[in-house]
Amino acid sequence: MSVRAIARLLAISPTAVSLALKDSPRVSPRLKDRIREQARALGYIPNAKLAELMGEVRRSSVPVYRATLGAFSFYPAEAPWCERPYLKHLFDGAVKCAASHGYKLEYLWYLRPGMTPMRFRKILETRGIQGLFCLGSLEPDQSFPPELRKFAVTTFSVSVPGPLHRVSSHFTYDARLLFDELLRRGYRRPGLCILVHGDRRTDYAYSATYLSTSERHLSPPHPPVLRADTWDEASFHHWFTAHRPDVIVLHQFPAYIAGVEAYLKTARLRVPRDIGLALLDLNPDRLRYSGICQNTSLMGATAIELLIGRILMRDFQAPAHPKVELVIGEWNEGRTLRSIAK
């Protein structure tokens, strides 16, 4: 449904419709309400990217500042990306996308000592911030504060559940891509080692895809999923010797991956000749490790485009029908899996 179609239905000019949807003061509040109501009824969604691009073409080749957007997270640290580099890629992608559309993205420390949800809201209102990008939470079931429901909001991944527009990795697609690659390379006994909280943060998509692949394509008995948040050589040794996987699939922090590497070296098992290693994400060395690499920079940019669209539509309440944008990861060849047989 186009602007011109809305104009024809209301018997007004397309210019008036366009100005009203941009919240221009040149259109009366009463007429704005009529136009927005008609737009919602017809399912009209403005193309935020195109709207911004056309605006720039009309004015100049340099993006013109429009407003400031806010970014925050439920991580306790002031700069959570220092301990989680993927958040740095996420935030940088968001900043770059916002700037290309004329917006400044400012990170605010929500869990600063002494900060309260109401005080945080007042800060946002004082700065004229209408849109928020939430970078997620350390806890996988973080509730979203009701004090911030008045803003347009998009969030990253699934650690903050509830009715929110969000951008996430396509965990199921990524896992299916990885296990399909393992099958193509001749592996027939994969074993999955996954973070306990990581399993929850991916909505159990990784472990579910592993179990489904094992059931549909591999002969039983299948190695059980090894869930652990820290490296424990004794538990890993028990799992490994009891089930003897021919490839280890990891969704783990670098310290755990290093522990697995050291264990295999002590056992005189060479990668990839004797055993394979594949990472579902969190790849600390793309030159070495084979597996999936999430495109967190693109996720940050996609979240901002979604947020700008909500602002243009004046969507400032908890959505009745939240939208989810899924970003597919990329296959990274690395050197820890054997080559495909020719």
User: Which domains are assigned to the chain?
Assistant: 3-44 (1.10.260), 67-170+296-328 (3.40.50.2300), 171-294 (3.40.50.2300)
- Show pLDDT as tens, one digit a residue, over the chain (342 residues): 567 777 777 777 777 777 777 777 777 777 878 888 878 777 776 665 555 544 554 454 567 888 999 999 999 999 999 988 899 999 999 999 999 999 999 999 999 999 999 999 999 999 999 999 999 998 888 999 999 999 999 999 988 988 999 999 999 999 999 999 999 999 999 999 999 988 988 889 999 999 999 999 999 999 999 999 999 999 999 999 999 999 999 999 999 999 999 999 999 999 999 999 999 998 999 999 999 999 999 999 999 999 999 998 888 888 888 999 999 999 999 999 999 876
Among the listed residues 226, 257, 223, the one whose alpha carbon sits nearest the alpha carbon of residue 242: 223
Torsion of CA 22, 102, 309, 58, to 10 degrees: 50
Note every long-range contact of 30-35, with CB atoms under 8 Å and residues 24 or more positions apart, other chains counting.
34/10, 35/6, 35/10
Instruction: Please list, in sequence order, all residues whose beta carbon lies within 8 angstroms of the beta carbon of residue 30, skipping any fewer than 6 positions away.
Output: none
